[in-house]
Chains A and B, each alone.
Chain A
Amino acid sequence: MTDHYDVAIVGGGPAGQAAALTLDDLKLKTVVIDEQPQAGGQILRQPPQSFRIPGWMEDRTYAPLVELLRRFEARTSIHWIGSHSVIGLRREPDGLFALTICSPDGLRSITAARVLIAAGCQDLAVPLPGWTLPGVYSAGGMQALLKAQRIVPGEQIVLAGTHPLQLLIAAQLVEAGGGVAAVLFSQPHGTMLKAGIRNSLRAFDRLSTAFPAVRALATLRKHGVKVLYNAPIQAICGTDRVAAVQHSGGEIACDAVGLCYGFVSQSSLPRMMSAKMRRAGPAGGWATLCDEWMQSSIQGLYVAGETTGVAGANAALASGNIAGFGIGAELGAISRDEAARRVARHRANRRSLLRFARLLDEIADPRPFFPALRDDTLVCRCEDVAFAQIGPVLDGRSANAVKLVTRCGMGLCQGRNCEPTLLRLLDNPNDPGFTARFPARPVPISDLAT
């Protein structure tokens, strides 16, 4: 079964929603595919429809995003395919794009004249001794448990890393009734302040309003949660699950850890299409290059949101609007001039948001603070590849060559977790990283077989 659309959008986060609404306004037949059951993306990961959570995401910083989401959900002319992962993307000889999508119920194919990849980002996975113990989560994953499942995965939680988002997550956890033992920043307080001050001129307009970390700090103070600076996490201890974390200044007992070193773009689909990429900000990962209309180096393949580099939800929203008009103009649904007029304010908005994102990147820069790896620290979680196996082949060879001999990157996550670490260890700015391969997500053999 193949359905055809004018535009297929991968990802129902702010970027995908904004683009879909624009395209729908322009009367283009649009589908949005997301592996989550409901739209919202990572920032508004929605609870199951059977849950009632009064006041869900009521905080005013989320208001524009919630408003966008409600408009998106009400727009029945946009075709929504939730609970489906896009596992393959290719260009057919007739020029159309073909997407292979799968769910536990099987496989489907979709063709589209244009494709927008708004696949968002994931937490940067940072290996350290003990990080594979049960109870260690990516901080974003922990936050999503709270947002969407109303579960707090511990009673004494430690958040550790370099990204200020961990303040927000800790505040959300305590406000919901969870226990947070500590928030550990690897960097000294001064470094964060200095980066803030250095950039305060360019980001001044946003620091006070859009930097909810300040409010989060107040909440944490109120709940008596320790926030330590210059306290890089060094190891996580425990036998069958997390029992404590060690940082430079001592040990803290805990039953769950959220690691928060920043975010990296999800890049498997654009890389599968051989779109031109650039090494993204200090956290690593690959951002897809695009023009002023959000078109990638592949004609007809557009990108928006964190796929183009991690810059936050509002920038994602703006870029989704731009991409929507860009695609609309290319498909003749609106004149280029009119489209240019309509995107002007989104472009201006996005520019200023990107400046803010760079400030945040600088404050959160994890590079000086990556924990030291021990010989038995697993770099590749999927294939259980320890640092000791990788060290000896760091002799100038490529990431692909290291992958071949060590299996680092060969597992279920397709290298999404270990690639940034490996590229950092290789320290070769020209290494193109792992070759992206089909499928972007694991898929049962029987679904694919004819």
Chain B
Amino acid sequence: MGGGLIGCATAWRLAREGAKVTVLDSGDFGMGASGQNAGSLHFQLERRFLENGDALAEQATRTAALNRLAISDWSSLEADLATNLHITMNGGLMVAETAEECALLELKIARENAEGLRTRMIDGHEARQIAPYLSEAICAAGYSPDEGHADARLVTHAIAIAADKTGALLRPRCRVQSIRRVCREYVVRTAAEQFAASQILIACGAWTAHVAAMLNLHVPLFPVGLLMNATERVAQVVPHLVQHVGRRLSMKQTHSGNLLIGGGWPSRMALDAEGRFTLYRPPAVIEASLRGNLRVAIDVAPMVATINLVRSWTGITAISADQLPIVGEIPAMPGCWVAGGGSAFTLGPTFARLIAQSMSGTKCEELEIVAPSRFAHLNSFMGQ
């Protein structure tokens, strides 16, 4: 359930192994977060893990093993799919402007190196040698040679095509309306059809909690509205992924030449008639977010100042109660798998490969850190 990156990629992997798979999406495939995201392939520890205390940073560091797998999954994806997805892995810089930010970078890099990630600290001068578009105000950067970006417009679409060719049944515009567990099977209904499956995967992104509720389950994934900005196309100048350790920024240049500027700035989720968050209307742009986001971009790369903004869009992604992704089988519901939360573009192909492997019966230790079992207590009062 869910034809985003995770759903499609899992189907593709499973179908390649000979499983009989169906993917259902309420809309067109890849139109959720998978088609709205920034396309960053970031392997350095994310800024959001650094701004909420040591414990979280420590825990997040332990997901580094997943990042290592993601590097190799992205490196082989285009060859596996025999398509050009505009994947570039020319390196990424997480920049710092102040002494405190430099100190934070150092700590971060030490943690990453301990986990076997190839990041290194470079000074402002070296940063500008690698990336001449950076401002003089940049005093240091964490440099990861593996980082980069892929074209989020194309990835899920291409994987869906591959899944289809491999024999998976793809059903766009088929919203899952109910799920029942009957003996050892799950019966999934849409408006017009029903499907029986021995195993199901709920990969509905920000909608995951709604869909899990059909099984009387809690999955603590919360929708958050984010903002992205695209400029007009300009000559290629930014071959890297650029992030900031102390301020929210992700910046890259697409294959077509647009600069994409984001970095986790919030947008305002729409409310329904009852005053609850709704996922069915796009979040509104928060002016302060827009202005703040573009300011960081100019501070980091002054040349963006004169380029025209052509589009700001908002998208909804899912974040879990503890910020780490939730990926694995639900302990109380054998055969029911869930995957979502966090940076599941970067990690999506890896999650998909590991879930497919686990569903086929080979246990994956790498997924333990993100297993849903850590929230089992939420379902201890939920009757099956």
Contacts and interface: CB of A to CB of B under 8 A. Distances in A.
The answer on direct contact between A and B (beta carbons under 8 Å) is yes
B310 A444 contact: no
Given A397-B28, A412-B310, A448-B290, A405 B232 contact: no
Interface stretch (A24-32, A44-52, A368-376, A434-442): A434-442
B311 A410 contact: yes
Contacts of A443: 308-309
Given A90-B284, A398-B28, A448 B294 contact: yes
B107 interface: no
A63 B190 CA distance: 61
Nearest to B35: A404
Interface string A408-450: 0011101000000000000000000001011100111110111
Interface string B167-178: 000001100000
B72 interface: no
A35 interface: no
Interface residues of A, number: 29
A405 B256 CA distance: 13
Given A397-B28, A449-B295, A449-B297, A405 B312 contact: no
Nearest to B292: A450
A118 B382 CA distance: 55
A412 B232 contact: yes
A414 B154 CA distance: 20
B378 interface: no
Interface string B254-268: 001010010000000
A443 B232 CA distance: 10
Contacts of A401: 27-31, 35
Nearest to A107: B291
Given A90-B284, A442-B232, A444-B305, A397 B153 contact: no
B313 A437 contact: yes
Given A448-B290, A448-B291, A412 B285 contact: no
Contacts of B374: none
Given A398-B28, A407-B256, A410-B230, A445 B284 contact: no
A446 B305 contact: yes
Contacts of A438: 285, 290, 311-312
A435 B295 CA distance: 26
A296 B298 CA distance: 38
Interface in B286-309: 287-288, 290-292, 294-295, 297-298, 304-309
Interface string A261-288: 0000000000000100000000000000
A400 B306 contact: no
Nearest to A100: B287
B210 interface: no
Contacts of B232: 411-412, 442
Interface string A65-76: 000000000000
Interface of B: 27-31, 35, 153-154, 157, 172-173, 230-233, 256, 258, 261, 281-282, 284-285, 287-288, 290-292, 294-295, 297-298, 304-313
